[in-house]
Amino acid sequence: MKADDHGGSVLLERYAQVAGSEVIHHLEQLVEPLKGAKVVHVNSTREGGGVAEILQKLIPLKRALGIDASWEVISGNPEFYQCTKAFHNGLQGTGSPVSRQLLDAYEKVNAANAEELRATLEAADFVVIHDPQPAPLLSHCPGRRGRWLWRCHIDASHPYRAVWKYLRGWVSDYDASIFSIPEFAQPLPHPQYIVAPSIDPLSEKNRELPEDDLQAVRERFQIDPELPMILQVSRYDRFKDPLGVVQACQLAAKLTPLQLVLAGGGASDDPEGEAVLEEVHQAVAGDPRIRVLLLPADAHHTINALQRVADIVLQKSIREGFGLTVSEAMWKAKPVIGGDTGGIRLQVFDHYTGFLVRSPEGAALRIRYLLHRRELLREMGQRARRFVGENFLITRHLREYLAMFLSLRNGTRGRMELF
């Protein structure tokens, strides 16, 4: 699709209505020297988790602007996913050594995927490899003609050394890497860019919904319209601290009546979800104030409605690369009580767009505080929406990608912060 194709210009017009026409004009100017460039993004899952969520929206918008963008997904076997989950845990600081057997599986899966993808990747002007899963692909593409970027979505601020040392071996040869906040950047022999992720205001996850849809979701999940509702949307992952959320809400509920909805699903590249979900069920132990939902990967409309129905959204992670769920909730004018960590700090300004907390007790305190100050809750929500509108929409994200591509093509040196 070219920018002047009807579909592309209709899409741009729709973004102009949300982000402002000057934002779209700026993108159109910036993209001029990149028109027709082949850009390939590669990750390891088409659904589930923030990376897939971003790519689903970023690729069509790039295409609408005239970039020949595409998205490839590598496939693996259980040992591969076990290995890459260990990398994920290791980068986020809770690592243990990864066995040679798992590393072999990782390397073999990448070699096999490279056979399928080599022609596409070698021909691309820019290749963006997301997270550790496909990182070795570069080493299988000796005939590459474009620039390769490694995009790390993970909180790599305090990596488990052995895991980072191994991964650095694959990542060092890239032309650049991208991290979400400066604290995650690592010593690497190439330019590092700091780019925050984004949400798409037009997506099924974030578009405005009629009241009927909200009512339908209340009925479907038996949400009591008379009781304040707290929500956390997350994969069932220990870094998201679902047990801490249950504890916080049970503590808060001792003094303030409320209900909690935990909404989550799995990602096809996350093998630990089932075990964590089981731990959550045990902790909830049939508490009638708590609903634990296991949603399919395409439940975007349902999650949108739940976020709109909630009074307060929690994202009580103990490590978080960014936390798209935070911006999603803020865009719906909800204050977020978030873990004081990683990318959540970029979005939640303590006492302004929500609260940062470090324990279930802290979260319980803030839940009660907000539920007893309805006017403040509303004002915080409005500020949160404005803040996301100014900082975390896909149009800003795309502008930074374009600036990065241009600076790489023109040969930049050193680190450049775009955010």
Minimum distance, C-beta of residue 289 to ligand UDP, in the bound complex (Å):
21
When asked if residue 314 is in the footprint of ligand UDP (CB under 6 A), the reply is no
DSSP 247-314: HHHHHHHTTS--EEEEEE---TT-TTHHHHHHHHHHHHTT-TTEEEEE--TT-HHHHHHHHHH-SEEE
133 near ligand UDP (CB under 6 A): no
Question: How far from each other are the two terminal CA atoms of the chain, in whole angstroms?
Answer: 29
Confirm if 31 and 402 have CB atoms less than 8 A apart.
Answer: yes
Nearer of residues 135 and 263 to ligand UDP, judged by Cβ: 263
Measured from the CB atom, is 299 or 337 closer to ligand UDP? 299
Q: Please pick, from the candidates 325, 347, 353, 395, the single residue that binds ligand UDP as defined by CB under 6 A.
A: 325
Among the listed residues 191, 242, 264, 381, the single contact to ligand UDP using CB under 6 A: 264
Whether 312 contacts 335, CB under 8 Å: yes
Distances (CA, A) of 166 to 81, 100, 140, 348: 16, 11, 17, 33
235, 291, 308, 396: residue in contact with ligand UDP (rule CB under 6 A): 235
Which CB, 50 or 191, lies closer to ligand UDP?
Answer: 50
* Minimum distance of ligand UDP from residue 303's CB (angstroms): 5
Residues 6+ apart with CB under 8 A from 125: 37, 38, 39, 145, 146, 147
Smallest separation, CB 405 to ligand UDP (Å): 23
Pick the stretch among 122-130, 214-222, 230-238, 275-283 that binds ligand UDP (CB under 6 A).
230-238
148 binds ligand UDP (CB under 6 A): no
Closest contact distance (angstroms) between CB of 206 and ligand UDP is: 9
Give the nearest distance from C-beta 234 to ligand UDP in angstroms: 6
Does 49 bind ligand UDP (CB under 6 A)? Our answer is yes
Instruction: Give whichever of 76 and 191 is closer to ligand UDP, judged by the CB atom.
Output: 76
DSSP structure string for 56-124: HHHHHHHHHTT-EEEEEE----HHHHHHHHHHHHHHTT---PPPHHHHHHHHHHHHHHHHHHHHHHHH-
Q: How many residues bind ligand UDP (CB under 6 A)?
A: 18
Residues 68-127 that bind ligand UDP (CB under 6 A): none
Stretch that binds ligand UDP, among 73-81, 321-329, 377-385, 391-399 (CB under 6 A): 321-329
69, 162, 191 from 65: Cα distances, Å: 10, 42, 26
Give the nearer residue to ligand UDP in terms of CB position, either 190 or 291: 291
| CB atoms near residue 222 (< 10 Å) | 9
Could you tell me if 246 and 284 are in contact, meaning their C-beta atoms sit under 8 angstroms apart? yes
Dihedral in degrees, nearest 10, Cα atoms 233, 257, 370, 292: 0
| List of residues 6+ apart from 135 with CB closer than 8 A | 110, 129, 150, 167, 170, 171
Q: Out of 8, 50, 191, 271, point to the residue binding ligand UDP (CB under 6 A).
A: 50
Q: Interacting stretch for ligand UDP, rule CB under 6 A, among 21-29, 38-46, 48-56, 126-134?
A: 48-56
The answer to whether residue 234 forms part of the interface with ligand UDP (CB under 6 A) is yes
Q: Does 233 bind ligand UDP (CB under 6 A)?
A: yes
Q: Which residue is nearest to ligand UDP (CB)?
A: 50
Q: Which residues bind ligand UDP (CB under 6 A)?
A: 49-50, 53, 205, 233-235, 263-265, 295, 299, 303, 322-325, 328
